[in-house]
Amino acid sequence: MSSPPVKLIGFFGSPYAHRAEAALCLKGVPYELMLEDLFNAKSELLLKLNPIHKKVPVLIHGDRAISESLVIAEYVDETFEGPPLLPSDPYDRAMARFWAHFIENKFIKPFFMAHWLEEGEVRDGFVKEAKELLPLLEEQLKGKRFFGGDSPGYLDIAASMLAPTRMAVEEVTGVALINDDDYPALSQWAREYISNEALKPCMPDKDQLLAYFMKNKEMYKAGVKAMLQNFTKFCSKQFTKPFFMAHWLEEGEAREGFVKEAKELLPLLEAQLKGKRFFAGDSPGYLDIAACTLGPTRIAIEELTGVSLINDEEYPALSQWAREYISNETLKPCMPDRDQLLAYFTKNKERYTTAVKAMLLH
């Protein structure tokens, strides 16, 4: 009985989608690549098959859908015939997974933050962290062509963004942390990875990859900068993220989704204020501090973007709370000046809209 057809939902320029492609290529599995346009609305198929994270890649194997790049790599390895991606020895297999976890959760963030951030103390901190971690990966390649031995395997797939993606990013940003002098094994590994015959069908074209990162350079820089600011801190929370994404995103399906999500959550906050001036009671407290972005910040953003989700008719308690919060005598010394706040968001409007657009890719 023949295997069901294999399809892969990906996005050009995504190192995570490349991981999934690399697993399929190394196993010799034919597949159809379905490219998403993540800068615009995500397809209904992607949202249906990956409703939790709403991200690429997604592997479609018959009526099965598998998400997350390294999960896909393991599924491909266990499902299809071909050269093994993970070692057969239990200990070696565990070590491959350990170092893949290290790359995914410990190494990637400081390494690429060091490339995209502008010069300064924050970037220097990420450079220092990345340089402390790089020798650990260099050591894993000692005496080997690939992390997997003589041919690429699971750990090479996990580290693949240090090959074509890293080289393109280096050329665009002018930042290079990996070189032949300091990390000869990693440098040679990257060249071996890119030129590997089995991987050639899925290797992104160098010029196209360079053009992609060049075109989107400012978006990536804005995205990593946003990650370091309070804007991303409140965007990461269950309510504040959809609420402010609904304000900053341009009109379209993506924005409508966040508007819908915010409107589903707003009644929960409205209910917490029933019969009270503040969340804490007669005076502001901890929860009022947590919700303070819905006071002066929200009002300034509404005026600037023309988007207003909180009003007296639908959310009278929240609307009155915002007025009470802004006019509270105790808070007046730290209350931002309305005109200055509006001027700040007006000046930085494009940076915020670019940052939230970048967040849709991650």
pLDDT in tens, 138-173: 999 999 999 999 999 999 999 999 999 999 999 999
Q: Supply the CATH classification number for the domain 221-359.
A: 1.20.1050.10
Average pLDDT over residues 66-77: 98
Q: Where in the chain is the domain with CATH 1.20.1050.10?
A: 90-215, 221-359
Identify the top-confidence range among 45-59, 63-77, 271-285: 63-77
Average pLDDT over residues 269-287: 82
Q: Where in the chain is the domain with CATH 3.40.30.10?
A: 6-79
Is residue 346 very low, low, confident or very high in pLDDT (cuts 50, 70, 90)? very high
Mean per-residue pLDDT over the chain, rounded? 91
- Residue 341 token pair: 């706040």
Residue 84 CB neighbour total at 10 angstroms:
16
What's the confidence (pLDDT) of residue 236?
A: 41
- Percent of the chain exceeding pLDDT 90 equals 67
Crossing angle (nearest 10°) for helices 349-359 and 338-347: 60
Show contacts of 239-243: CB within 8 Å, 24+ apart: 239/265, 239/269, 240/293, 243/294, 243/309
Sheet strand arrangement including 6-10: 32-35, 6-10, 58-61, 64-67
Going by DSSP bridges, is the β-strand pair 32-35/58-61 parallel, antiparallel, or unpaired? unpaired
Beta bridge partners of 64: 61
Q: Which CATH number fits domain 90-215: 3.50.50.60, 2.30.30.60, 3.40.50.1970, 1.20.1050.10?
A: 1.20.1050.10
319, pLDDT greater than 50: yes
- Rounded CA separation 248/305 (Å): 7
Q: Which CATH number fits domain 6-79: 3.40.30.10, 2.60.120.10, 3.20.20.70, 2.40.50.140?
A: 3.40.30.10
What's the confidence (pLDDT) of residue 55?
A: 93
Q: Are 75 and 66 in contact (CB under 8 A)?
A: yes
Is residue 359 very low, low, confident or very high in pLDDT (cuts 50, 70, 90)? confident
Is the pTM for the entire model greater than 0.75? no
Q: Are 76 and 23 in contact (CB under 8 A)?
A: yes
228, pLDDT greater than 70: no
Residue in 138, 4, 132 with CA at minimum distance from that of residue 62:
4
Show contacts of 292-298: CB within 8 Å, 24+ apart: 292/325, 293/234, 293/240, 293/244, 294/243, 294/269, 294/318, 294/321, 294/322, 295/322, 295/325, 295/326, 296/326, 296/335, 296/336, 296/338, 296/341, 297/336, 297/341, 298/322
Angle, CA 80 vertex, CA 79 and CA 86 arms, to 5°: 80
